[in-house]
Amino acid sequence: MSIPSLLIAALNGGSGKTLISVGLTAALRNRGLILSVFKKGPDYIDAGWLSIAAGRPCHNLDQYLFSREIILSSFARRSVNTDIAIIEGNRGIFDGVDNQGSFSSAELSKLLKSPTMMIIDCGKMTGTAAALVKGCQEFDPDLHIAGIILNRVKGARHEHVVIESIKRISNIPVVGVVPGMTLKNFPQRHLGLLPIQEHPAAIEFVDEAREIVEKSVDLNEIQKAAKLAKEIYPVSPSEQEKEPQSEPINSNLRIGILRDSAFQFYYPENIEALVCRGAHMIEINALESKLLPDVDALYIGGGFPETNAERLANNSSFRDSIRSFVESGGPVYAECGGLMFLARSLVIDDRIFPMVGVFNAHSVLNKRPQGLGYVELKALTPNPFFKAGEVLRGHEFHYSTMILDEPEPHSWPFDVLRGHGIDGAHDGLCFKNALGMYAHVHTLGEPRWADSLVRKAQEFRINKIVQDENL
């Protein structure tokens, strides 16, 4: 099958991929097209912006976390009955995990048979832009670069020189020229945009990005380029994306999920996997809810608890109810920001904010990243969600350091085979049926995660029923 699609790439991070990808998606949607949207890599924040622009969930495609077959199946299945698929790349087009460019945006473009739309940041540059285009063509002749969008162009003369320089050495068409500008609705943090939950003017930014693209990019040429996508080979049933089991384990299970401006990093596939296994997802606002509702398990994703530290600290009744839930054996799965929340305190500069206190540790915020990139972990014991010896892949991105009250726990849940984790060699803290770790996992790469969380929820529910009957 052939899926009209484009992968939006650039030569380096910070070149305008997200702005143009969001604006392009919103502009095509404004034409009445139905889009499927994807983010290359494990990024949550850009995916959130693409979701708003497309009016439907954005899904991640990651060659390190998923197999080739799962990527093809997920891409094809989620693009059915859409007019065009937009994939936002990450980092530079050829940047991968090694000097061979493994798992790069270029490799994903070739796997999906999707033409690449290359963004060139022309700030303080003219003819060199042509050299960069030529270099990309010769570096990987198999990569189909269908068009070029020039970004940060300063005036008509700058535009003319750059375009003519490219025409002189390449037949790749320039389909857009985006001027250099200051965007009023473009607040950033760390590696890119603010999360949509924290952005004071999310819809306004998407509209602003759409207007920029509509004025600066030839959308007709964009649609033509997308139709140049080649047929991807059918995936055999045995190789297809592993679907959640069709028969729910227990259709009455209630799994709570903290979802607010402090905890916001969740892959849509992770939620779908739990629902398809029989769970009813109960959204909870950790900043406003006074008590944890009646749930059989709790899922706390990542986010930025540090930006909401005071509100989390002041909501003592909610924190106490989570601690009581854990003490009663309630299963809790927490990632990164969730791990920080379950610690005893969050330390920011010279201020100490009390947190839940499940783990005898304190998270200390630093000025620079303490863990960034892909991780590989080997499960040890005890561990409520993964069997000893299992190896799982994920990613981490955290500015905090975890300081333990004891020199080290009696036993670590995970050895770190790749990445940093808590201390460079281990990741995860565990108490009863609560597990917190810096690593984020994706259910398409680690389906065992969803199975285990639902199984623990069912066990906890059965125990509650038995206890109630014995009263």
pLDDT tens readout for residues 266-306 = 999 999 999 999 999 999 999 999 999 999 999 999 999 99
Would the pLDDT of 191 be above 50? no
Classify domain 5-238 at the CATH class level. Answer: alpha beta
Q: What is the mean pLDDT of the chain?
A: 91
Spatial distance between the Cα atoms of 73 and 78, rounded to a whole number of angstroms: 8
The pLDDT assigned to 409 comes to: 60
Would the pLDDT of 410 be above 70? no
Instruction: Examine domains 5-238 and 248-470 and report if their fold is the same.
Output: yes
Which is more confident, 333 or 183? 333
Count how many Cα atoms sit within 13 Å of the Cα of residue 441 in the half-sphere of its side chain: 23
> With bands split at pLDDT 50, 70 and 90, how would you rate the model's confidence at 248?
low
Which is more confident, 52 or 232? 52
Would the pLDDT of 229 be above 80? yes
The pLDDT assigned to 2 comes to: 79
Domain ranges for the chain: 5-238, 248-470
pTM above 0.85, yes or no: yes
* Percent residues over pLDDT 90 in the chain: 82
Closest C-alpha to 309, from 219, 208, 399:
399
The pLDDT assigned to 246 comes to: 41
Classify domain 248-470 at the CATH class level. Answer: alpha beta
- Torsion (CA) 106, 107, 111, 114 in degrees, nearest 10: 0
The pLDDT assigned to 240 comes to: 46
Would the pLDDT of 193 be above 70? no
The pLDDT assigned to 186 comes to: 53
The pLDDT assigned to 243 comes to: 47
**Active-site residue flag, 58:** no
| Active-site entry in 58, 122, 136, 336 | 336
- As given in the structure block, the two tokens for residue 257 are 């999920």
Q: pLDDT for 97-140, tens place per residue?
A: 999 999 999 999 999 999 999 999 999 999 999 999 999 999 99
The pLDDT assigned to 306 comes to: 94
> With bands split at pLDDT 50, 70 and 90, how would you rate the model's confidence at 205?
confident
- Mean pLDDT is highest, among 190-199, 224-233, 260-269, for 260-269
The pLDDT assigned to 47 comes to: 92
> With bands split at pLDDT 50, 70 and 90, how would you rate the model's confidence at 210?
very high
